[in-house]
Amino acid sequence: MKHRQKYLSGFFRAPVGASLMLAALLGLSTATGCLEEPEIDERWTLVEFLSTDPIPGEDLAADQPLDVQVAGQITYRAIRTGFLVAEVRYSPNLGPAAMALDPNDHTLRTARRVERVLDNSVTAGRATRAVTGFDHLMQRVNLEFTALVPPEMFVGDPDSVANRGLYLVLYLAEGEEIELQDGRDSLVVTPLPVEEYELLFTGFALDMAAPGTGGAP
């Protein structure tokens, strides 16, 4: 019996070094498993404004053309080919209060909201640029155009007007060139699906003053 007790005692003493090594490995494994996943804007292709004119919060007159200038940047996380589109979109059923957009919020929530705006609006003016890129490439693009505010934006009672919105958005799209009846060429763009292509779009609401009520000169 004493011999057995010594054997068992020796058995538990012998692997102390191995036990410490095992504990260290387990600790390393646990620490590795606790490392946070990179933010989504470091994993998905990011489309962002570097500068815009007009800027968010600027009071604009609806009875004047909008001269728009955008400096945008694409940070690619995969090979992508298509068109970068800067566009003013008019929505008859999505007012700014219900569609809060922050151009500094590079999240899936914002990208989905921009996608919703695109699905529920029509163009009021845009500029496009053919682009292509690969993982980790950062591409800067300058775009400018003139947009016209649809006259129906301020027609009707105040509640109806509040449910309408004008947005400046920046996104990636597929493009198809077509020939118009008058012989001119035109580009038809189709926004790329946000989640399918892992894209983060951006945009913000334009603050429009009703005709005759002020706004920027």
Answer yes or no: is 69 within a domain.
yes
Same structural domain for residues 21 and 83? Answer: no
Domain count, the chain: 2
Give pLDDT tens digits for 35-73. 688 999 999 999 999 999 999 999 999 889 999 999 999
Residue written as tokens 């946000």?
Answer: 194
List the Cα angle 68/162/52 in 5-degree steps. Answer: 20
pLDDT reading at 17 higher than 60: no
What CATH number does the domain containing 79 carry?
2.70.50
Same structural domain for residues 29 and 52? Answer: no
Same structural domain for residues 138 and 195? Answer: yes
Answer yes or no: is 180 within a domain.
yes
Q: What is the pLDDT of residue 14?
A: 43
User: What confidence tier does 216 reach under pLDDT thresholds 50, 70, 90?
Assistant: low
CB 133, CB 141: distance < 8 Å: no
Own/partner pairs, 35-42, CB within 8 angstroms, 24+ separation: 40/106, 40/107, 40/108, 40/200, 41/75, 41/106, 41/107, 41/200, 42/77
Same structural domain for residues 53 and 19? Answer: no
Give the domain extent around 13.
Answer: 2-34
Please tell me the chain's helix, strand, coil percentages from 3-state DSSP, rounded to the nearest 5. 25, 40, 35
Alpha-carbon distance of 53 to 34, in angstroms, equals: 43
Give pLDDT tens digits for 107-143. 999 999 999 999 999 999 999 999 999 999 999 999 9
Same structural domain for residues 64 and 170? Answer: yes
- Percentage with pLDDT > 90 across the chain: 65
Same structural domain for residues 72 and 145? Answer: yes
Same structural domain for residues 205 and 160? Answer: yes
Answer yes or no: is 214 within a domain.
no
Tell if the pTM clears 0.85, that is, is over it.
Answer: no
Answer yes or no: is 27 within a domain.
yes
Q: Which of 15-24, 93-102, 207-216 comes out lowest in average pLDDT?
A: 15-24
Answer yes or no: is 216 within a domain.
no
Q: What is the pLDDT of residue 8?
A: 34
Residue 209 DSSP SS3: strand
- Percentage with pLDDT > 70 across the chain: 81
- Element of type H or E holding 5: helix 2-13
Answer yes or no: is 172 within a domain.
yes
Same structural domain for residues 56 and 9? Answer: no
End-to-end CA distance of the chain: 102
- Element of type H or E holding 29: helix 16-34
Alpha-carbon distance of 154 to 156, in angstroms, equals: 6
pLDDT reading at 148 higher than 90: yes
Same structural domain for residues 45 and 19? Answer: no
